[in-house]
Structure 1
């Protein structure tokens, strides 16, 4: 897994021609499908990106993010499933205007931590959650200035995250709302 993370970091930061580097952070509203009585859970994400122009209207934006996902239940007791990932989205962006863009692309996520939290106790859940998750992201963004912007994205999980699942697939779903800062423009 360390080699995959290193490869992702090289891919994001190794490009060196007309690209723009930046940072992004924001809030996640995540859920896991097909979990009994589960509800959305708030988390956060933060990371770095490189924006590479492909043409006047199209950009490629690979990212490396720390992503806090999961779900919660208001059933008996306060139960949370906290899933922490290193995510590598690769977004293809279409610039509808100089400031507004639409984006879509795959997200490759590598599980770092999985914990069940209930009534103040915590239990490791990595034995029950797969180490890799694939999602498809759709989003939009607006650059207020050449340095600052905001974005919104939904990432729909494609893979079943549960090991040895005999029922319906458990998939991550996450809405992301965040801010971006670009260097050097």
Structure 2
């Protein structure tokens, strides 16, 4: 995982060294939910988390650009199940370094659409329940793959550099290692983010 993070950082900083690139920061909210295959015991619902990080964008044609993000992202779900006749509720929080590589199509004025793969590298996985806390790290896959579909708007004429975008990222791989009572766990996240960037000049 460290090698992938270092490689992503190297790519990001090498991009910023060239004048045709723009760089910036992003921050916002994740609306995340996981699905368990063992629905006879467990039920889940969505929960709101935080995400934030940096990006580098390269415009290689009139309407097209490629963007690399490195984001610290919290994701997970609300969970409930029966135990000894009582209902236990809690929040599962998985923190990841997400690295999406996105192809963007830009229209006028300032609207764009984007899509591309995302790799999520797990940092921690914990559950906070009415009965106590639990560490799920050893039961959780270290890497999680998803695909991003998004759209955004750049407020260039009003506030240059500022923009907002929304991204839906359904999971392509399972979250668990196959040894939890919840069964197969999959997940998806809808994110709304503010971004501020600036073009690098020669």
TM-score relative to the length of structure 2 = 0.86
| Residue of structure 1 in register with 2:73 after alignment | 67
Query: Could you say what secondary structure the match of 1:14 adopts?
Result: helix
Give 2:14's aligned residue: 14
The whole-number CA distance in structure 2 between the counterparts of 1:81 and 1:73 is 7
Q: Does 1:172 align with 2:187?
A: yes
1:143-154 matches, cutoff 5 A: 143-145=154-156, 146-154=160-168
Q: What are the superposed Cα offsets for residues 61-84 of structure 1, whole Å, 9 maximum, x if unpaired?
A: 000000100001255233111100
Taking the aligned partners of 1:174 and 1:48, their CA distance within structure 2 comes to 19
Q: Give the superposition deviation at 1:165.
A: 5.2
Distance across 1 between alignment mates of 2:151 and 2:21: 19
Q: Measure, in 2, the Cα distance between the counterparts of 1:134 and 1:155.
A: 9
User: By how many angstroms is 1:106 displaced?
Assistant: 0.3
Alignment correspondent of 1:159: 173
For residues 89-104 of structure 1, the aligned pairs below 5 Å read 89-104=100-115
Select the residue among 148, 160, 169 that pairs with 1:137.
Answer: 148
Q: Secondary structure at the match of 1:33?
A: strand
Count of aligned positions? 185
Task: Give every structure 1 segment of 4 or more consecutive aligned residues whose post-TM-superposition deviation is greater than 4 Å.
Answer: 165-168
Bigger mean CA deviation after superposition, 2-11 or 159-168: 159-168
Bigger radius of gyration, 1 or 2?
A: 2
Aligned equivalents of 2:119, 2:52: Cα separation in 1:
15
Instruction: Tell me whether 1:88 sits opposite 2:99 in the alignment.
Output: yes
- The reply to whether residue 128 of structure 1 matches residue 143 of structure 2 is no
> Secondary structure at 2:174's aligned position in 1?
coil
State the Cα RMSD in Å.
1.8
What SS does structure 2 have at the residue aligned with 1:9?
Answer: helix
5+ residue gaps, structure 1, are none
**Which of 33, 36, 39 is matched with 2:35 structurally?**
33
